[in-house]
Amino acid sequence: MNATLLDTEKNYVKPQKFSFENFVCENGEVIPYVDIAYETYGTLNASKSNAILIAHAFSGDAHAAFYHEGETRAGWWDNMIGPNRAFDTNRFFIICSNVIGGCAGSTGPSSINPNTGRPYALDFPQVTIRDMVAAQKKLIEHLGIEKLYSLAGGSMGGMQVLEWLVSYPHAVLSAIPIATTARHSPQQIAFNEVGRQAIMADPKWNGGNYYGAEIPRAGLSVARMVGHITYMSEKSMAEKFGRRTKSAADSTKFHADFEVEGYLRNRGDFFVRRFDANSYLYISKAMDLFDASGGRHLSEKFFELEAKLLVLAFKSDWLYPAHQSLDIVTACKITGVPVSYVEIEANYGHDSFLVETEKQSQIVRHFLSRVDELIY
């Protein structure tokens, strides 16, 4: 996305941490001590009215934009966040935090359980999207922010956006759920379940107790490969790989004949170095259990909303198909919540929200400027 920058042209950001005690999860279990890793970009204004929270997707983290010292690759949504970008850091104060249950600085199953001195593993409570959002709310309050100017996220980030609206309807002026759903379909649950089964089938997973030993590399890698297929579209795969074959240097049977096979194996191998297998189980399960509507019609949960919504979907996204976004739009229409909806033409499948920068940027920029006009 970015042309090579000189170090002096880069924007830098430092990871931060916010901690609190005795977090009561939705299921009643208590986490005695919680760290939340977060980053901020831009400057909070005096009235604390220019804050935008960015919620990350399944395997994302708090590093949404800019560079860490010495880093060659910017944060995961750097194409959307920065000076004069869609989430303009010249105007807005952007916050992104790693979800509770995660493995990139926030407390999760790989964290030390203070009651035992060892990692929680499966003793960690089954956190939910609501728990993730409750932890974010504490962070926002800690920063002195009463109302978010906006709130945005794709995929599981969009679920957090919806949960914010439902849990804290008076704390949000506008919201941008992207390529997401108010609840997983059985197909989405099924894909997640296959990933979990692949991890748990790996003997090295060992009932979740692999910390300090070999990690369930093979199982986690297979899980990620399934994920990657669902994040791309048939078309983007065809354009990226075609049926091109790799060199036959590896002559063993069932090596990667096709480039797409090698690509998937590489993505799987790369992923296991940065992601905790138990976090995979917990977070994917949190997504499956999520239902913004609480099993009723979503509109019943939207009556208290004060926010304006921009709902975005992508034509080639078959994992979170547009009809799921339209369910959110319908709930807004029923309850009179102001909503704009765009189904963006982009070939990258579900990944579009991460890589399609041009149209998405224009639409988001325009929406954020309209929120401003109407509310201030």
3-state secondary structure the chain: CCCCCCHHHCCECCCEEEEEEEEECCCCCEEEEEEEEEEEECCCCCCCCCEEEEECCCCCCCCCCCECCCCCCCCCCCCCEECCCCEECCCCEEEEECCCCCCCCCCCCCCEECCCCEECHHHCCCCCHHHHHHHHHHHHHHCCCCCECEEEEECHHHHHHHHHHHHCCCCECEEEEECCCCECCHHHHHHHHHHHHHHHHCHHHHHHCCCCCCCCHHHHHHHHHHHHHHHCCHHHHHHHHCCCECCCCCCCCCCCCEHHHHHHHHHHHHHHCCCCHHHHHHHHHHHHHCECCCCCCHHHHCCCCCCEEEEEEECCCCCCCHHHHHHHHHHHHHHCCCEEEEEECCCCHHHHHHHCCHHHHHHHHHHHHHHHHHHC
Copy the structure tokens of residue 223: 């899980």
Instruction: Given the residues 317, 327, 351, 352, select the one marked as catalytic.
Output: 317
> CB of residue 343 vs its own copies: minimum separation in angstroms?
17
Q: Segment near its own copies (CB under 8 A), from 62-70, 131-139, 219-227, 350-358?
A: 219-227
Choose between 78 and 288: whose C-beta lies nearer to its own copies: 288
> CB of residue 260 vs its own copies: minimum separation in angstroms?
4
> CB of residue 24 vs its own copies: minimum separation in angstroms?
19
Measured CA to CA, the distance from residue 141 to residue 154 in angstroms comes to 23
Nearest to 284 by CA among 199, 173, 367, 363: 199
> CB of residue 185 vs its own copies: minimum separation in angstroms?
6
Q: Does 221 bind its own copies (CB under 8 A)?
A: yes
Amino acid at 127: V
Q: Does 14 bind its own copies (CB under 8 A)?
A: no
Beta bridge partners of 178: 154, 312
Judge whether 150 counts as a catalytic residue: no
Judge whether 350 counts as a catalytic residue: yes
Measured CA to CA, the distance from residue 87 to residue 52 in angstroms comes to 8
Segment 99 to 118, residues that bind its own copies, using CB under 8 A? none
> CB of residue 133 vs its own copies: minimum separation in angstroms?
20
Q: Does 300 bind its own copies (CB under 8 A)?
A: no
Judge whether 68 counts as a catalytic residue: no
Choose between 243 and 273: whose C-beta lies nearer to its own copies: 243
> CB of residue 345 vs its own copies: minimum separation in angstroms?
18
Q: Segment near its own copies (CB under 8 A), from 15-23, 174-182, 198-206, 339-347?
A: 198-206
Instruction: Given the residues 106, 111, 155, 316, select the one marked as catalytic.
Output: 155
> CB of residue 208 vs its own copies: minimum separation in angstroms?
8
The site map against its own copies for 233-262 (x = CB under 8 A) is -x--xx-xxxx---------xx-xxxxxx-
Choose between 13 and 281: whose C-beta lies nearer to its own copies: 281
The site map against its own copies for 257-276 (x = CB under 8 A) is xxxxx--xx--x--------
Q: Does 350 bind its own copies (CB under 8 A)?
A: no
Residues near its own copies (CB under 8 A) are: 122, 126, 183-187, 189-191, 193-194, 196-198, 200-203, 208, 218-219, 221-222, 225-226, 228-229, 232, 234, 237-238, 240-243, 253-254, 256-261, 264-265, 268, 281, 285, 288-289, 291, 318, 321
What residues act catalytically? 155, 317, 350
